[in-house]
Amino acid sequence: MDNSPGNSPDKLAIIVGPTASGKTAVSVRVAQLLQAEIISGDSMQVYRGMDIGTAKISLAEMAGIPHHLLDIREPHQSFSAADFRDCAQAAISQISARGHLPLVVGGTGLYISTLINPYLFPHNSARDDGFRARAVAELQAYGAEHLHSRLALVDAQAARRIHPHDHYRVIRALEVYAKSGQTISYIQAASQENFAPLYHTAICGLMLRRELLYARIERRVEQMIEQGLVEEVKRLIAAGAPLSATSMQGLGYRHIAAYLRGICTFAEAMNMLKRDTRRFAKRQYTWFKRDARIRWFDVENYLDHDHQPQTENLAQDMAAWIRKELSR
């Protein structure tokens, strides 16, 4: 992609929001209205065989809209924010070359940020599975607050930004420091210098009152069980997916795995899954709320009398705003 002076950056639309806010359905309709192709911005939907627990879109739900970055890794393989950026940039170039609009849809804030904000990924801070295994063991032995306090000692700025229960990002920040000798906060700040935007972006966000969102989360978890989440996790374990893999540490998968291993009862696993999903949604909101570029759409304004989303009206308004924003 040539972004030298005198060349206009590619146009890029983005839809973000917390889990269970309704991104999947509305994004397909927005894509139809804008002649767009969708790029998944979800850190878990890249894994094959992990469909129910990630609420992965089905072929029928795609309604003929091309989707990218789904099912591109095996559960035992790693997939980092840097990997996402590289794959997404390639997809954006290909979609733009076809005369279509790239539309990134997802709730993984770090992935979206690496795509539209400057991030450095030093070669000497690559993934270290040994370090991660030791950190996970320390987490299990001493708890989340202990690990978070270690981060606060070396990178107070990152510790203020990262919630103690966001285990993946806490461990990643510690890993970067251990491997590179630089804090992740310093690396990200250094990335801001002399940065020219790669894309002309229009970012929409879906928001929903907490009580309604939490009710949706409750229903989603129950639906996942009905759809066969327990059987999905059993198949993954039988196929050799390591429980320490990033994929198997995702919401739902680690909870069901704990139940299958006899660490907790099924009822306890469900309660923890619902609780952790609510916490995750809150962290997603916190991440995205910091970005003043996002135009928020309140889903509650598009509900019918039965509290069901009127996807068409919402999609029409979002598409109209994206068209206007990208025409500037």
Cβ neighbourhood burial of 241 (10 Å; 0-12, 13-18, 19+): buried
Q: How far apart are CA 39 and CA 289, in angstroms?
A: 22
pLDDT of amino acid 6: 41
- Both tokens of 186, joined, read 């310093």
Average of per-residue pLDDT across 142-154: 90
pLDDT in tens, 265-306: 999 999 999 999 999 999 999 999 989 999 999 999 998 877
Question: Is the pLDDT reported for residue 108 higher than 80?
Answer: yes
Is residue 9 within 8 Å of residue 199, measured between CB atoms?
yes
The torsion defined by the Cα of 163, 24, 15 and 54, in degrees rounded to 10, comes to 30
Q: Residue 199 in 3-state DSSP? A: strand
Q: Residue 123 in 3-state DSSP? A: helix
Sign of the alpha-carbon dihedral angle for 189, 193, 196, 198: negative
Q: Residue 272 in 3-state DSSP? A: helix
Q: How far apart are CA 84 and CA 81, in angstroms?
A: 5
User: Which residue in this structure is represented by tokens 């910091």?
Assistant: 290
pTM, 2 dp: 0.79
CATH architecture of 11-117+195-326: 3-Layer(aba) Sandwich (3.40)
pLDDT in tens, 67-95: 999 999 999 998 988 899 999 999 999 99
Is residue 115 within 8 Å of residue 102, measured between CB atoms?
no
∠ CA 45-291-14, nearest 5°, is: 40
pLDDT of amino acid 287: 92
Q: How far apart are CA 323 and CA 126, in angstroms?
A: 39
pLDDT of amino acid 3: 40
Q: Residue 294 in 3-state DSSP? A: strand
Lowest mean pLDDT among 47-61, 115-129, 138-152: 115-129
Lowest mean pLDDT among 42-46, 156-160, 247-251: 156-160
CATH architecture of 123-191: Orthogonal Bundle (1.10)
Residue ranges per domain, the chain? 11-117+195-326, 123-191
Give the CA diameter of the chain.
61
∠ CA 233-67-284, nearest 5°, is: 65
Q: How far apart are CA 25 and CA 48, in angstroms?
A: 21
Closest C-alpha to 268, from 256, 284, 285, 281: 256
